[in-house]
Amino acid sequence: MTCSKNTRFDHDTSVARVDEGRYRVDIDRGWWVERGPNGGYIAALLLRAICSHVEDSNRTPRSFTIHYVSPPAEGEAHIQVDTERRGRSLTSVSVRMMQGSYLRAMGLAALSTPRESQEFDHHPMPEVPPPSSIAPKPLVIPIHQRYEHRFVSDPTIENGAREARSVAWLRAAEPQPLDPFLIAAYADALPPSSFALTTDDFSLGPVPTVELTVHFRADPSSLEIAPDAFCLAVCRSRLARDGFVEEDGEIWSPCGTLLAQSRQLAVALGR
């Protein structure tokens, strides 16, 4: 497949500099779920503004935490990025998304150059069927048109499971070079794994994200990943209590490199 220089993802996550540390964005309804836009989409918007502000390609995102304060509306929003500290190798920044007087999201990010260190890897990629052996997921809500899912374990149809788990091969709807912005979006691109526990007597309703943290574990530009390649996304939930549920996630390259780890806390009210 050829790769467009201006894909829908690039267009919908673009940022325009207004002033020092201030950027304008347009929130597109094509990324909607339930009451508002998908959290991964908002994460990608915020991260683009952050990287535009830092302006150092050697300092790549390492950790990014977002708190979702209120659901954004469709249309214009502004992002303010402030450098809290710039060290010899690590830059720490804060970010806020506003629509008029409404705070929509805020976060903290750490960007760093690579460091020489001792390494170990005790966590291999799960063994799953290849994406070519799995049929695509039918389109249901707007955000489903932004990705192609090939589910190994689909929590929306495999109800009554003993484990809250969601596993899928995932790629953008158009061939898209893999970068930290797309990885941030992938971190919240699967249906909640807690849906797999649904029975006649137990059901969690919409689970809007309160907080999402993404740890970026490998630079995709250092790997030979085709723009139309699938990544493997794995999500698990282990505890729902007091109206909240956690979800741990992993994003793997097709060659088995762990690209990102994530954890989010979401509201989990029964239907």
Nearest to 182 by CA among 222, 132, 227, 213: 227
Nearest to 39 by CA among 177, 214, 160: 214
> What's residue 271's pLDDT?
66
> What's residue 159's pLDDT?
83
DSSP 8-state code for residue 258:
E
Structure tokens at 150: 């090939």
Q: What is the maximum span of the chain, computed from C-alpha positions, in angstroms? A: 56
> What's residue 4's pLDDT?
46
pLDDT, tens digit, for every residue of 232-255? 999 999 999 999 999 999 999 999
| Residue tagged 């374990």 (tokens) | 153
**Percent of the chain whose predicted confidence (pLDDT) is above 70:** 98
Once rounded to an integer, what is the mean pLDDT over residues 107-129? 94
Q: Is residue 10 predicted with pLDDT exceeding 90?
A: yes
C-alpha 68/C-alpha 257 separation (Å) is: 29
Once rounded to an integer, what is the mean pLDDT over residues 226-235? 98
DSSP 8-state code for residue 53:
H
Q: Based on C-alpha coordinates, what's the Rg of the chain?
A: 18
Per DSSP, what are the bridge partners of residue 262?
214, 249
C-alpha 142/C-alpha 13 separation (Å) is: 16
pLDDT, tens digit, for every residue of 38-60? 999 999 999 999 999 999 999 99
* pLDDT band of 144, cuts 50, 70, 90: confident
H/E segment holding residue 45: helix 39-54
Structure tokens at 95: 């970010």
Domains of the chain with CATH codes: 8-113+134-267 (2.40.160.210)
Q: What is the DSSP string of 171-200?
A: EESS-----HHHHHHHTT-SPPGGGGG--S
CB count within 10 Å of CB 234 equals: 20
Signed CA dihedral, 12, 188, 74, 47: sign only = negative
DSSP 8-state code for residue 204:
B
C-alpha 205/C-alpha 271 separation (Å) is: 5
